[in-house]
């Protein structure tokens, strides 16, 4: 006990010394750095080098194709009236870039209510470079890998359960805008929730992760990665589902059904009525004899 007290007193004597602060700082840095090196995932030196290269390439592409609206450092821009031209990209993550550029929504052809999906302008390498650059601006969701959205590893029963679970999540969270068939629906002022049946699983996953445009952001705390995967499994099962009832008539619900009831159903019946009324043998004979 005395010994401890004495040694503590000896240390304590130096605590106000000129190098004490520096020593503590060095010690702290050493411990945290050592811990980080020990605990963080090991990254090989070569990939770091290529990442830097990728970011550099991405920045060059960004300055040419994106900076006009999003600013030279992706900080976003407003016009003189304070109206947003392009939002800040700090923290949107690689997933947002991969979704927006990968589905052709970016670069925007013209400012409007909503950027439509179109054939992509950049090739996959260029998109990867752009994504790496934007990801370097601030931490954000990364591009999901196939393991995130594919059900290939699961047993048949697990797959079946995933589709059922995904269907319930889909009906709760997605149909309000995208329609119960995934055909899409209208949003205010000319906006629209697009058809999602032909969207690739990766892009659906990214859309849920990043919430493009007016879409909600389904973060991992909100919908777990497994639940996102299940939703994708359900959407794919809907796409692969045969038309049990016949032609889908646009799969838009009662409006298109009513249109077909009037035009096809009633149209054919009225055409037959005309035919029946026009084919009276006796009246035709009479007309002929008159002429």
Partner 1 sequence: MSIDTSKVAASNRTAAVASKPSKVGAAAGWADERLGLAAMGKKNLRKVFPDHWSFMLGEIALWSFVVLLLSGVFLTLWFRPSMAEVTYQGSYNQLRGISMSEAYASALNISFDVRGGLLMRQMHHWAAMLFIAAMMIHLLRVFFTGAHRKPRELNWVIGSLLLLLGTLEGFTGYSLPDDLLSGTGIRAADGFIKSIPIVGTYISFFLFGGEFPGDAIIPRLYTIHVLLIPGLLLALIAAHMLLLVYHKHTQWPGPGRTENNVVGFPMLPVYAAKAGGFFFIVFGVTALMGGLMSLNPVWKFGPYDPTKVTAGSQPDWYMGWPDGALRIMPGIESHFWGSTWSWNIFLPIIVLPGLLFTVLLLLPFIEGWITGDKREHHLLQRPRNAPTRTATMVALMTIYACFWAAGGNDLIAIKLHASINQITYFLRAAVFILPIITFLVTRRICISLQRHDNEMLLHGYESGVIMRTPEGSYYEKHLPISEARAYTLTVRDRSAEQLTPATQDDTNGVPAPKGRLSGFRDKIRTLYYADDVDKPTTAELEEAHHHADHEAHELEALDGHSAEGHHFDGRHPVSEEPIRPEHH
Q: In the complex, which residues of this chain contact partner 1 (CB under 8 A)?
A: 113, 160-161, 163-164, 167-168, 171-172, 175-181, 183-190, 192-193, 234, 237-238, 241, 243-249, 251-262, 264-266, 268-270, 272-274, 276-278, 280, 282-283
With respect to partner 1, which residue has the nearer C-beta, 18 or 246?
A: 246
Q: What's the min distance (Å) between Cβ of 192 and partner 1?
A: 5
With respect to partner 1, which residue has the nearer C-beta, 36 or 244?
A: 244
Are 76 and 82 in contact, with CB atoms under 8 Å apart? no
Q: What's the min distance (Å) between Cβ of 207 and partner 1?
A: 16
With respect to partner 1, which residue has the nearer C-beta, 206 or 230?
A: 230
Q: What's the min distance (Å) between Cβ of 177 and partner 1?
A: 6
Are 114 and 191 in contact, with CB atoms under 8 Å apart? yes
Q: What's the min distance (Å) between Cβ of 109 and partner 1?
A: 14
Q: What's the min distance (Å) between Cβ of 224 and partner 1?
A: 19
With respect to partner 1, which residue has the nearer C-beta, 31 or 272?
A: 272
Are 235 and 196 in contact, with CB atoms under 8 Å apart? yes
With respect to partner 1, which residue has the nearer C-beta, 59 or 229?
A: 229
Q: Which of 126, 117, 112 is nearest to 64 (CA)?
A: 126
Is residue 244 classed as helix, strand or coil in its secondary structure? Answer: coil
With respect to partner 1, which residue has the nearer C-beta, 82 or 111?
A: 111
Cα–Cα distance between 158 and 61 in angstroms, integer? 43
User: 77-78 and 84-86: which strand pairing?
Assistant: antiparallel
With respect to partner 1, which residue has the nearer C-beta, 18 or 242?
A: 242
Structure tokens at 185: 């629906």
Cα–Cα distance between 246 and 227 in angstroms, integer? 31
Q: Which of 62, 69, 49, 51 is nearest to 97 (CA)?
A: 62
Q: What's the min distance (Å) between Cβ of 200 and partner 1?
A: 21
Q: What's the min distance (Å) between Cβ of 204 and partner 1?
A: 17
Measured at the CA of 150, the angle between CA 141 and CA 236, to 5 degrees, comes to 105
Cα–Cα distance between 59 and 53 in angstroms, integer? 10
49: β partners: none
Cα–Cα distance between 79 and 72 in angstroms, integer? 15
């Amino acid at each position: 006990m005395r010994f401890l007290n004495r040694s503590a007193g000896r240390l304590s004597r130096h605590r106000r010394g000129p190098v004490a602060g520096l020593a503590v700082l060095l010690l702290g840095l050493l411990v945290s750095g050592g811990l980080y090196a020990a605990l963080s995932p090991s990254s090989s030196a070569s990939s770091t080098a290529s990442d830097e290269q990728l970011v550099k390439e991405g920045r060059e592409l960004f300055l040419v194709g994106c900076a006009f609206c999003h600013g030279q450092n992706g900080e976003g821009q407003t016009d003189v009236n304070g109206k947003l031209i392009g939002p800040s990209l700090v923290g949107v993550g690689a997933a947002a870039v991969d979704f927006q550029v990968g589905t052709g929504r970016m670069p925007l052809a013209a400012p409007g209510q909503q950027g439509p999906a179109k054939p992509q302008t950049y090739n996959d390498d260029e998109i990867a470079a752009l994504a790496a650059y934007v990801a370097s601006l601030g931490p954000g969701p990364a591009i999901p890998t196939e393991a995130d959205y594919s059900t290939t590893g699961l047993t048949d029963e697990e797959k079946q359960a995933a589709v059922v679970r995904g269907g319930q999540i889909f009906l709760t969270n997605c149909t309000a805008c995208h329609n119960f068939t995934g055909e899409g629906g209208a949003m205010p002022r000319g906006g629209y929730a697009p058809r999602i049946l032909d969207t690739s699983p990766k892009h659906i996953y990214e859309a849920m992760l990043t919430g493009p445009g007016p879409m909600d952001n389904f973060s991992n705390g909100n919908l777990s990665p497994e639940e996102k995967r299940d939703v994708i499994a359900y959407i794919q099962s809907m796409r692969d589902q045969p038309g049990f009832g016949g032609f889908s008539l646009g799969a838009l619900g009662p409006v298109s059904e009513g249109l077909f009831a009037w035009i096809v159903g009633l149209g054919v019946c009225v055409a037959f009525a005309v035919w029946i009324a026009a084919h009276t043998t006796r009246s035709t004979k009479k007309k002929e004899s008159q002429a």
